[in-house]
């Protein structure tokens, strides 16, 4: 489980088949084999780890199912990605409950400066739009964000300067796609309502 509070920006250091190597500032000694790390919001399992002077390089395997639901098919050498390690017992719950199970891809349709923050508007597939509500939470590329407004299958968020600095959001622009995980409680509530009918 994660909270959507990004703790590092990693870099794609290499790829071999379905395996990616990711460079991070996390110390190698702190990453166990089999550990879960959210990579741009996708929960992936560490299959190997090597120490580096500036941190570590860890490897993850990606299934075809994961590729079909995420932006991972577009990952390339030197791409920067948001990283978050799984919660440990007693850790602060700073964002919202994030599973790392991405529901689909959202597209940035507008991006405007809003004083010191930046306002993004996203378009999502119709089947995911019903899970997104004003003042609700979403995880976008692993980042916990609050929904400002919803209009059909479009919604907006504001990203504050701190988040723009410590994540990859400072470099995002119109036309890009991002990984979307809807609020887990909204997903379960919708499922229960479906059975009630």
Per cent of the chain over pLDDT 70 is 96
Which of 51, 85, 119 finishes a domain? Answer: 85
pLDDT at 192 > cutoff 90: no
Query: Does 95 fall in a domain?
Result: no
Query: 46-67 burial by CB neighbour count: b if 16+ within 10 A, else e?
Result: beebeeeeebbbbbbebeeebe
Is residue 71 domain-shared with residue 108, that is, in the same domain? no
CATH number of the domain residue 33 falls in? 2.40.30.20
Query: Does 185 fall in a domain?
Result: yes
Instruction: Find out whether 21 and 58 touch, Cβ atoms under 8 Å.
Output: yes
Is residue 71 domain-shared with residue 111, that is, in the same domain? no
Q: What is the pLDDT of residue 132?
A: 95
Query: Does 18 fall in a domain?
Result: yes
Query: Does 98 fall in a domain?
Result: no
Domain residue limits at 170: 104-196
Which of 32, 56, 85 finishes a domain? Answer: 85
Q: What is the pLDDT of residue 67?
A: 95
Query: Does 125 fall in a domain?
Result: yes
Is residue 175 domain-shared with residue 116, that is, in the same domain? yes
41 C-beta neighbours (distance < 10 Å), count: 29
Is residue 13 domain-shared with residue 55, that is, in the same domain? yes
Q: What is the pLDDT of residue 186?
A: 73
Q: What is the pLDDT of residue 153?
A: 97
At 36, phi and psi to the nearest 5?
-100, 130
CA angle 77, 113, 24 (to 5 degrees): 25
Is residue 81 domain-shared with residue 109, that is, in the same domain? no
21 has which bridge partners? 14, 59
pLDDT at 169 > cutoff 70: yes
Mean pLDDT of the residues in the chain: 94
Structure confidence at residue 188 as a pLDDT band (50, 70, 90): low
DSSP codes joined into one string, 43-96: EEEEEEEEEETTEEEEEEE--HHHHHHSSGGG--TT-EEEEEEPPPTT----S-
Instruction: Find out whether 159 and 178 touch, Cβ atoms under 8 Å.
Output: no
Residue matched to tokens 């509070």 = 5
Which of 85, 113, 129 finishes a domain? Answer: 85
As a whole number, mean pLDDT of residues 55-84 equals: 97
Is residue 12 domain-shared with residue 78, that is, in the same domain? yes
As a whole number, mean pLDDT of residues 87-92 equals: 76
pLDDT at 76 > cutoff 90: yes
Per cent of the chain over pLDDT 90 is 86
Is residue 141 domain-shared with residue 79, that is, in the same domain? no
Query: Does 91 fall in a domain?
Result: no
Is residue 192 domain-shared with residue 120, that is, in the same domain? yes
Query: Does 1 fall in a domain?
Result: no
Q: What is the pLDDT of residue 108?
A: 98
Q: What is the pLDDT of residue 197?
A: 63
Is residue 186 domain-shared with residue 155, that is, in the same domain? yes
pLDDT at 25 > cutoff 90: yes
Q: What is the pLDDT of residue 93?
A: 73
CA distance 150 to 133: 7
Please give the DSSP secondary-structure letter assigned to residue 98.
Answer: B
Q: Which two tokens stand for residue 68?
A: 């079909």
Is residue 78 domain-shared with residue 110, that is, in the same domain? no
Q: List, in order, residues 6 or more apart from 28 with CB less than 8 Å away.
A: 49, 50, 51, 52, 55, 56, 58
CA distance 33 to 46: 5
Tally of structural domains, the chain:
2
Query: Does 137 fall in a domain?
Result: yes
pLDDT at 32 > cutoff 90: yes
């Amino acid at each position: 489980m994660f909270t959507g509070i990004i703790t590092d920006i990693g870099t794609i250091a290499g790829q071999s088949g379905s395996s990616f190597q990711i460079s991070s500032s996390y110390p190698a000694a702190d990453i166990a084999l089999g550990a879960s790390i959210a990579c741009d919001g996708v929960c992936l399992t560490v299959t190997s780890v090597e120490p580096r002077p500036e941190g570590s390089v860890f490897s993850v395997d990606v299934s075809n199912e994961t590729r079909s639901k995420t932006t991972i098919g577009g990952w390339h050498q030197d791409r920067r990605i948001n990283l978050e390690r799984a919660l440990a017992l007693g850790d602060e719950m700073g964002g919202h409950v994030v599973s790392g199970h991405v529901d689909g891809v959202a597209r940035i349709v507008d991006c405007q400066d809003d004083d010191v923050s930046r306002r993004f508007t996203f378009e999502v597939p119709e089947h995911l739009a019903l899970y997104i509500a004003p003042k609700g939470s979403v995880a976008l590329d692993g980042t916990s964000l609050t929904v400002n407004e919803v209009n059909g299958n479009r919604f907006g968020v504001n990203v504050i300067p701190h988040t723009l600095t410590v994540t990859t959001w400072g470099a995002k622009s119109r036309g890009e796609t991002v990984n979307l995980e809807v609020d887990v409680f909204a997903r379960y509530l919708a499922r229960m309502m479906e059975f009630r009918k």
